[in-house]
């Protein structure tokens, strides 16, 4: 089964400062996903989501994770 999971994350400006609900998602999901990526610039969203979908469907199908920090999410509005 192919799964591309977009997940929210704290903003880059407060990461690694013990922010509420901050989790190192890439490390956390590494054992159960084929590929993990965190988007740091909004203009890269289409490229990285496209790669995530391609990776999920290529070879042996599997889950991928796309982490979207809050500041990147807000910049796309």
Per-residue confidence (pLDDT) for residue 54, from 0 to 100: 94
Q: Which CATH class is domain 3-75?
A: alpha beta
Per-residue confidence (pLDDT) for residue 9, from 0 to 100: 73
User: How much is the pTM?
Assistant: 0.77
Q: What is the DSSP string of the chain?
A: --EEEEEEE--GGGTTTT-TT---HHHHHGGG-SEEEE--SGGGHHHHHHHHHHHHHSSS--EEEEEEEHHHHHHT-
- 8 Å CB contact between 70 and 58: no
**What is the pLDDT tens value at each position of the chain, 77 positions in all?**
667 767 777 666 655 555 556 678 889 999 999 999 999 999 999 999 999 999 999 999 899 999 888 888 888 66
């Amino acid at each position: 089964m192919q799964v591309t999971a977009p997940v929210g994350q704290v903003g880059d400006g407060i990461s690694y400062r013990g922010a509420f609900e901050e989790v190192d998602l890439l490390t956390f999901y590494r054992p159960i996903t084929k590929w993990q990526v965190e988007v740091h610039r909004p203009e890269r969203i289409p490229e990285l989501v496209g790669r995530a979908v391609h990776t999920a469907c290529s070879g042996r199908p599997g889950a991928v994770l796309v982490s979207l920090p809050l500041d990147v999410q807000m910049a796309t509005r």
